[in-house]
Structure 1
Amino acid sequence: MKISVRNLEPTKVRLTITVDQEELEPHLNDARKSIANQINVPGFRKGHVPGKIVDQRVGYAAVVGEAVNEAVPEFYNNAIEEKNLRPMAQPVLDLKDVPAEKNDGVKLKFTAEVEIRPSFELPELEGMTVEVEKPEVKAEDVDARLAALQQRFGTLVGVDRPAAEGDYANINLEAVINGETVDSQDGISYELGAGNMLDGIDEALTGLSAGEKTTFTAKLAAGEHEGEEAEVKVTLNSVKTMELPELNDDFAQDASEFDTLDELKADITKQLESESEGRQANAARDAFLEKVVEGLEIPVPKGLLAEHTEEHLRNMGKTVDNATAEEKKEASESAEKEMRDQILLDTLAEKMDVQVSQSDVMNFLASVAQQYGMDPNNFINSIIQGGQLPSAVQEVARSKGLLTAMRAVTFKDTEGNVVDLSRFLGSDEDEASDEDQSVAAASAAAAVADEVASADAE
């Protein structure tokens, strides 16, 4: 087999593949056997018709046609492997020459245009130092968490005064457009100042007493008339304020398993420290990737970028035709970053010589199923039946490659202290657990699960 490669773009090549007759012959024989099972020839049992007779009955060209359908993908894959190319998309195949008669001297020749992963040199990881922010838990952070807990145990108490910010108002709303009521809701509870309802409602309710009404103008935020300006009539039914329990040992006993407020605060501090370390691990991952790509130009396949951009637009509820220029730019930039990250992670996995076992993939898929409350066996079967197993393998390889690469460098905080991330990265001897691997692959796992869930819904 003769293979020539022409670079069309930094991420696109055209292979021209010429196959010798002796290489094609096994495929011709397979085609003859397949055809022999489909035809009836007097004097021969079905499936036992000699190849020469098959050629005579259906024609040599028909045999070649059958053989080519099976042979071309195999020859293409062999060529890709021989030339050490890494396809990122399906190839566009084009038959150029096909033998029509036996021994006519014509060799099977075809081209394959395909977008590939670009090649680039990653920096040496040995001796690399990456700086990451030092995690810090402040007293106000503990106070804020404690206040949120206190709020959960608060009690709403009615007050006989005008509504003010922070109060809880029970209201009736009626939206009117051109004299016609388009929406109405009664008994809505709303916290003044929360900012999660119609624009202008805080100003309208402030100073209003129970039983009073007012009207204001606002754009509707949802429903059939979303975005349209309406006259909104609001009736204030009641005003309540939140009475909070006193922060003391009794509160600690009611709100937790601890006997004293000091013990509760210590536990909150410990939780915040753990969360802060998790955020530091994520920040370390991002800082590491930024360090690795410093000075690198990573081109992105144009065709794939266009496809991914359209996918991002669909997720935004838009299409190429109705999206604004700003929305198209946002979708394109998001798709490009996502693809560059994937290309980088694939290259890292290759550099770190990552090996993915069957148990790695099964454990990964089982952990994803658990995150989404799915039955692991059903989820894994859906992945396999949907032809998504290679994608799952790729995600596991990316995760393992990133974790292995991060273990090869030194992380230091802004004060120069070495940061121990072994809780999240595991070790070379004892690789990170599935839960820890999700630090690197959570978004990818979610994408796989969402794709399968969507497929099941359809």
Structure 2
Amino acid sequence: MSVSVEKLEKNFVALEVTVDSEKFVSAVNQAAKNLAKKVNVPGFRKGKAPRRMVELHVGKEALYDEALDHLIGPAYATAVMESGIDPVDRPEVDLVQIEEGKDLIFKAKVMVKPEVELGVYQGLKIEQDAVSITEDQVMEALVSKQQQHARLVTLEEGKVENDDTITLDFEGFVDGVPFVGGKAEGYELTIGSGTFIPGFEEGLLGTEIGQHVEVNVTFPDEYHSTELAGKGAVFKTDVKKIQRKELSALDDEFAKDVSEFETLDELKSDLRNKLMKSTELRMKDEHLKKIIAKVVDNASVEIPEVMITERIKVMVEDLNRNLTQQGMTMEQYYQFTNTTEEVMQERLRPQAAESVKMDLVLETIAKVEGIEVSEDEVDEEIKKLSELHGQDAKMLKNALIARGELQFYKQSLISEKTVNYLVEQNT
């Protein structure tokens, strides 16, 4: 088999693949055997008809189609490997020559990864911001812990205030008619959480226990239900219970109750140290992001639409997987965020495009600078990963191989080394 490569416009290449005549004849003969098992040839049992009779029965074109189905895929895959191209989409295949006794020749037009024109990626001198923690930040962390350990007290009487957790019955009406999903009993709602559509929670402020209140709201124009989007509604509500947070005093007793420390000063010192460490990590991450963003911005590349579409698909799949772990469906997510699949995909487009560009730029820099990972380095990282998750390293590696993910894992390690290289070169 031989392959020639022709560069076309806009990230397309054409592979002309020549398959030896003997291999083509062999594929046609095998196709005849396959078809003999599928069709009824008069005078022969299934699978026993000779090739000539099968060809007369189904026609040469059907015979060739069967042969090509089993021949072109592997031949194209081999041609991709031999030519060194990096396809990002399925090929368009055209037959150039198909005749027994002659070589099979076909052309495969396919989109490949675009070439990146690197800009300046060394000596940018991007400094990391200094890390500092103020007493106000420490106090905010302390108050947050105070809120976390607050206990809910059920009021005997009183009016709804912001941050209260209330239990209520409600039913929604549009033009005097109740709508599906607009009714609930014994529903718990924290006022100020933004759980309901704008205006609902605010309309309950000042309501007393046992009081009936009608809350007027307007559904957002982009609401997930087209029947309700942009329409005014009335919610008839009854507040059954009000619970309010009771905060502990910020003193030594509080420190003993919520931590292993004996005094409030010790607790504050611990919070200060944790804030310092988390801020250092955040600053380091922001510094890294600034460097990568500048390097990527300095580069130029024309990204094929199919790569952006595929990245959006991956992002949606990741979101779906995370939601499933939280016990939520995509449909519920669209409902809670007042969006749709189409709207969300469009919102993800800029992020997806930037993500693809970053990957392409890092990959190009790695090639230019000769940044690679050895098998020993891969094994060492897999060992660390296995220890983190309590798995056997060999089994984890075999699982990556079985799922076809080892090459992606290697590429992620190369990207990580490339990022570290860029930090060294630009700080």
TM-score by length of 1: 0.66
Q: 1:278 to 1:25 in 2, by over 3 A?
A: farther
SS in 2 for 1:257: coil
One-letter code of the match for 2:415? L
- Equivalent position of 1:201 in the other structure: 200
Q: Offset of 1:324 from its aligned partner?
A: 10
1:293-315 C-alpha deviation (Å, 9 max, x unpaired) = 23322111234445556777898
Q: Is residue 14–residue 112 contact of structure 1 (8 Å, CA) maintained in 2? A: yes
The answer to whether structure 1 residue 342 and structure 2 residue 359 are counterparts is yes
The answer to whether structure 1 residue 175 and structure 2 residue 151 are counterparts is no
Q: Is residue 369–residue 379 contact of structure 1 (8 Å, CA) maintained in 2? A: no
Q: 1:412 to 1:160 in 2, by over 3 A?
A: farther
Q: Offset of 1:224 from its aligned partner?
A: 10
Separation (CA, whole Å) in 2 of partners of 1:66 and 1:324: 39
- Equivalent position of 2:109 in the other structure: 113
- Equivalent position of 2:421 in the other structure: 408
Separation (CA, whole Å) in 1 of partners of 2:352 and 2:171: 42
- Equivalent position of 1:48 in the other structure: none
SS in 2 for 1:156: strand
SS in 2 for 1:13: strand
Q: Offset of 1:243 from its aligned partner?
A: 1.9
Tell me which of 292, 296, 299 is aligned to 1:293. Answer: 296
Q: 1:345 to 1:165 in 2, by over 3 A?
A: same
Q: 1:25 to 1:244 in 2, by over 3 A?
A: same
TM-score by length of 2: 0.70
1:181-213 C-alpha deviation (Å, 9 max, x unpaired) = 444333334343333334323443323322322
1:146-169 C-alpha deviation (Å, 9 max, x unpaired) = 212111222333264433334443
Separation (CA, whole Å) in 2 of partners of 1:232 and 1:378: 57
Q: 1:323 to 1:96 in 2, by over 3 A?
A: farther
- Equivalent position of 2:373 in the other structure: 355
Q: Which moved more, 1:401-410 or 1:25-34?
A: 25-34
- Equivalent position of 1:282 in the other structure: 285
Query: Of the two structures, which has the highest relative contact order with CA contacts closer than 8 Å and spacing of 6 or more?
Result: 2
- Equivalent position of 2:44 in the other structure: none
Q: 1:342 to 1:294 in 2, by over 3 A?
A: closer
SS in 2 for 1:190: strand
What CA RMSD, in Å, does the superposition of the two structures yield over aligned residues?
A: 4.7
Separation (CA, whole Å) in 2 of partners of 1:172 and 1:37: 68
- Equivalent position of 2:139 in the other structure: 143
Tell me which of 247, 251, 254 is aligned to 1:248. Answer: 251
Q: Is residue 247–residue 261 contact of structure 1 (8 Å, CA) maintained in 2? A: yes
Q: Offset of 1:378 from its aligned partner?
A: 10
SS in 1 for 2:278: helix
Q: Is residue 292–residue 419 contact of structure 2 (8 Å, CA) maintained in 1? A: no
- Equivalent position of 1:215 in the other structure: 214
Q: Offset of 1:260 from its aligned partner?
A: 1.9
- Count how many residue pairs are aligned between Structure 1 and Structure 2: 385
- Equivalent position of 2:41 in the other structure: none
- Equivalent position of 2:276 in the other structure: 273
- Equivalent position of 1:456 in the other structure: none
Q: 1:160 to 1:138 in 2, by over 3 A?
A: same
Q: Offset of 1:264 from its aligned partner?
A: 1.6
Q: Is residue 4–residue 15 contact of structure 1 (8 Å, CA) maintained in 2? A: yes
Q: 1:359 to 1:329 in 2, by over 3 A?
A: same
One-letter code of the match for 1:260? T
Separation (CA, whole Å) in 1 of partners of 2:240 and 2:166: 7
For structure 2, the 5+ residue unaligned runs are 38-49, 321-329
Separation (CA, whole Å) in 2 of partners of 1:296 and 1:169: 54
Q: Offset of 1:81 from its aligned partner?
A: 4.2
Percent identical residues: 23
Separation (CA, whole Å) in 2 of partners of 1:412 and 1:142: 35
